Amino acid sequence: MNVIDSKPYEMLIDGRWQAGREGLVFDTLNPSTAKLLAQVHQADAADVDAAVQAAHSAFENGWGRTTPAERGRLLRRLAVLFERDREKLAWIETLNVGKPITHSLESLKTMPSSLEYFAGMIPAVRGETIAVGNSDVLNYTIREPLGVCALIMPWNYPMTLTINKLGPALAAGNTIVLKPSEVTPLSTLALARLFEEAGFPPGVVNVVNGPGATVGEQLVTHPLVSRVSFTGGSVTGARILASTANDLKRVTLELGGKSPLIVFDDAALDKAVAVAAGDIIKNSGQVCIACTRILVQETILDDFLERLQRRLRAVRVGTPEATDTDMGPLVSAEQKQRVEHYIRLATEEGAKPVSFGDVVLDDNTAPGFFMPPTLLLRSSAQMQSAQDEIFGPVQSVISFKDEDDALGIANHSRYGLAAVVFTRDGGLALRMARGLQSGSVAINTGVRTSFDAPFGGYKLSGIGKERGLEAIYENTQLKNIKYDMSV
């Protein structure tokens, strides 16, 4: 399927597709072949300002006062168009990110439902009447949109995360300037073409391209931007928070993770193994919520590892276009080098790296950024390889003695995005869920985000919530109003 444009991809500013004012372009690669996939026009400071000004004008001149019914109608129309183009968008994401086409199609399957959900939740965004001490005063609250929202996307799930940021921001009545990752911008740019067809007014959604260090920084510090939502690494997230401090912008940060999968000796082992294997395989382990620390009770460690290793040996690593591929490449040479560095580091720390899977490459894919799934056996909680987010197909395997030991190891982390517990003991499961310092906990199943449930982390894993009704609230300002009825 020919889904990639031969001409450089432009930016969307005030309803018009255009090149950057300086005429700069950058390359985006196919990670399977390490070859040029497309070129993309890059924004400069003037382009960023134009996009923000367009969003601000659209908000002030109508969009900020649109009715809930009108916003809902447009989001539902966008959902219909997304479903129409879903296969094309999935192929673009596969070619640009490197995930198998079967995975891309699956991950985009719920996106129309996500848009419909946020459209349907708009009437639920309401204030309340509060009985205050003075009976002559009517006290009530309303929720208002914030204005221009800057949405800064990561490279690992560009389409899914774009929809899950766009949906609640538009539902709340905000306008948007979106910056896709410069590594994987193509599916987001293809999505943006649907907004005009859906009927969104010019300026409501704008897209600027380029590096975070320049374009992203110019966007988050722009005085007309009221809210910044960022998904990515914790170091960048902290930098964004510092950059927005002077004018106290509203900020939502969905950051890194080093999630534990905790397996007790009464667990359904095959199910736990399936979750562990899925997390190392899915998107080549480039998933913030993936369980990359496997904590197994010492009495069942050998049995668990035998089952997990058997599962990983059957993994097929190869071209993402093939329907029998389980795992594609990493997204870039830089990311591959990062993963290789941590495997070497783990060896120096005393862990034992063991790689698995059947890597099937040809002359076209041989230069690509492929790596097999790798377990770091004999790991400990103190190792740097078990503390840092590697963001690749690597898992540290750590044994524990009992409940207290498991909880201590799991919480010995700068991150707190997600956690998984496998046990048939209901009391133990609930004690672990309460004790784990994590924004999401799954019991006897894997952590899978859902558009209708809140998601966000503890500690260095972020600030605020995305998805669910809470995501719409994150995009609003709560105003309290008092009316003296005695006058």
Structure confidence by residue, pLDDT tens digits, 88-130? 999 999 999 999 999 999 999 999 999 999 999 999 999 999 9
The percent helix, strand, coil of the chain (3-state, each to 5) is: 40, 25, 35
Q: Measured between alpha carbons, how far is residue 184 from residues 159, 162, 340 in Å?
A: 10, 12, 22
> What type of residue is 466?
E
DSSP reduced 3-state for 263 = strand
Tell whether the model's pLDDT for residue 399 goes beyond 90: yes
Q: What is the pLDDT of residues 211-247, one digit of tens each?
A: 999 999 999 999 999 999 999 999 999 999 999 999 9
**Which pair of tokens denotes residue 171?**
């539902």
Q: Are strands 205-207 and 374-377 parallel, antiparallel or unpaired?
A: unpaired
**Which pair of tokens denotes residue 246?**
């002077």
> What type of residue is 314?
A
Tell whether the model's pLDDT for residue 63 goes beyond 90: yes
Largest Cα–Cα separation, the chain: 83
Tell whether the model's pLDDT for residue 206 goes beyond 90: yes
In the numeric block, the tokens 């076209």 are attached to: 364
Got the DSSP string for 337-403?
A: HHHHHHHHHHHHHT-EEEE-SEEE--TTTTTS-----EEEET--TTSGGGTS---SSEEEEEEE-SH
**Which pair of tokens denotes residue 68?**
């809930």
Torsion sign (Cα): 309, 314, 318, 321: negative
Tell whether the model's pLDDT for residue 368 goes beyond 90: yes
DSSP reduced 3-state for 136 = coil
End-to-end Cα spacing for the chain: 70
CA distance 58 to 74: 15
Alpha helices in 19-67 (DSSP H): 45-60
Average pLDDT over residues 300-325: 97
Give a three-class secondary structure readout of 186-252: HHHHHHHHHHHHHCCCCCCEEECCCCHHHHHHHHHCCCCEEEEEEECCHHHHHHHHHHCCCCCCEEE
Q: What is the pLDDT of residues 370-394, one digit of tens each?
A: 999 999 999 999 999 999 999 999 9
The model's pTM is: 0.96
Among candidates 164, 167, 101, 122, which has minimal Cα distance to 318?
101
**Which pair of tokens denotes residue 10?**
């432009």
> What type of residue is 218?
Q
Query: What rounded mean pLDDT belongs to the chain?
Result: 97
Which pLDDT band holds residue 487 (cuts at 50, 70, 90)? confident
Q: Measured between alpha carbons, how far is residue 471 from residues 122, 200, 362, 464 in Å?
A: 11, 21, 44, 8
Query: Catalytic: which of 10, 116, 182, 254?
Result: 254
Catalogue all structural domains in the chain, each as residue range(s) with its CATH number: 11-256+461-480 (3.40.605.10), 260-443 (3.40.309.10)
Residue 278 in contact with residue 312, Cβ under 8 Å?
no
Q: Are strands 137-145 and 476-484 parallel, antiparallel or unpaired?
A: antiparallel
Average pLDDT over residues 5-32: 97
Q: Give me the percent of the chain exceeding a pLDDT of 70.
A: 100
Q: What is the pLDDT of residues 445-484, one digit of tens each?
A: 999 899 999 999 999 999 999 999 999 999 999 999 999 9
254 in active site: yes
In this prediction, residue 401 carries a pLDDT of: 98
Spatial neighbors of 161 by CB under 8 A, at least 6 apart, are 153, 154, 231, 254
